[in-house]
Structure 1
Amino acid sequence: MESLATKVARRTFREIHGVVLSAGLMDRTVKVRVPGLKWNKLLKKHFNNPQTYLVHDPNNSVRTGDVVSISPGFRTSQHKRHVVNHIIKPCGEPISERPPIPSKEEREAEREAKSAAKRERKALKKKVAMVETALERAERMVGRASKEIAARLKMGVVSKTTEEPVR
């Protein structure tokens, strides 16, 4: 069962290249600077306008100084909207000695598995809540019935041994 968000995220094909500014400070998050240009219409000239993105790094495999390929994907937290596709040029430790970066299909499969587990937990929690409310109702009914029986015994309407009406 594929959600609408999964279908929309799969259609994104835009790939951005950037340099990792900081890695290892936040778990599974790196800061990437992407080059950009901004047009000044007064001077009629382009000026450098780099942007920085917080990018999701699923296995903490990116290091500071790496040139990476990122793409917009699922919103993994409040400020992270991009995910690392692959490392273009490593800085320092070679790629073979780092944890592998999962492919897009692996990330989607993991996301679907997590959401399915969450749906299952939510359904189970709902069933438990329903059973608890039914149990509370039954306890209230038993309490009311016992009060009613005690009142009838006090009035002598019901005999204690047979609990049938007295004639």
Structure 2
Amino acid sequence: MASLAPATAGRTLRTFRELHGVVVTAGLMEKTVKVRVGGLKWNKLLKKHFNDPKTYLVHDPNNSVRAGDVVAISPGFRTSQHKRHVINHIIKPCGVPISERPPIPTQAEREAEREAKSAAKAERRALKKQVETAETALQRAERMVGRARKEVAATLRMGRERKAPVEELD
């Protein structure tokens, strides 16, 4: 039986199957393209395969893909509600050559960017939590000072009230 320790010891990049498809729409949404991937569906009645293409909304990090390009996509981290795939590379460009387009980041670069974003988010959360705890401590201190002032004012009033009748009798 193979050991799982070497696989979990170092963080490795996840690999998924690669799909090839044609970009149907590009430029309508920021960093998003629609890719049509071919497929076949078996019809039991006719006992025959029929074309059954699927369309995916795909994340294009640098807006480097144009309509008509043949691209390789793979499932990645969920970028938005409907985007679950990301562009790996352009197989065949349409129109503008690849050299004149922004480069497509590799999987390692995307992973590093994601880690950097999550680290920045964790840092912001920790800072926000520190600020909130400081604010609550300040509010508690202000409440305690207010209560102490009220108590001091009440004791001073009580002292004046006690002294006033004694002075009137003299």
Shorter-chain TM-score bucket reads 0.7 to 0.9
Give the secondary structure class of the aligned counterpart of 1:156: helix
Offset, 1:112: 0.3
1:12–1:73: 8 Å Cα contact kept in structure 2? Answer: no
Q: Tell me the residue number matched to 1:107.
A: 110
Offset, 1:29: 0.3
Distance in 1 of aligned mates of 2:104 and 2:112: 14
Corresponding position: 1:87 with 2:87: no
Q: Tell me the residue number matched to 1:165.
A: none
Q: Which runs of 5+ in 2 are unaligned?
A: 1-10, 161-170
Give the secondary structure class of the aligned counterpart of 2:24: strand
Q: Tell me the residue number matched to 2:145.
A: 142
Distance in 1 of aligned mates of 2:14 and 2:108: 13
Distance in 2 of aligned mates of 1:32 and 1:13: 17
Amino acid of the structure 2 residue aligned with 1:96 = S
Aligned runs of 1:15-34 on 2, under 5 Å?
15-34=18-37
Larger Cα-atom Rg: 2
Amino acid of the structure 2 residue aligned with 1:110 = E
Aligned runs of 1:63-82 on 2, under 5 Å?
63-82=66-85
Q: Tell me the residue number matched to 2:131.
A: 128
Provide the identity percentage: 80
Per-residue CA distance 1:6-37 (angstroms, 9 max, x = gap): x79x3232000000000000000000000000
* Higher helix fraction (1 or 2): 2
1:30–1:57: 8 Å Cα contact kept in structure 2? Answer: yes
- Structure 2 length as normaliser, TM-score? 0.86
Distance in 2 of aligned mates of 1:11 and 1:20: 24
- Structure 1 length as normaliser, TM-score? 0.87
In the TM superposition, structure 1's runs of 4+ consecutive aligned residues that sit over 3 Å from their partners are none
Offset, 1:137: 0.6
Distance in 1 of aligned mates of 2:127 and 2:149: 33
Corresponding position: 1:36 with 2:39: yes
Computed over aligned residues only, the root mean square deviation of the Cα atoms, in angstroms, reads 1.5
Distance in 2 of aligned mates of 1:57 and 1:11: 19
Q: Which runs of 5+ in 1 are unaligned?
A: 1-6, 158-167
Amino acid of the structure 1 residue aligned with 2:76 = G
Corresponding position: 1:118 with 2:114: no
Amino acid of the structure 2 residue aligned with 1:75 = R
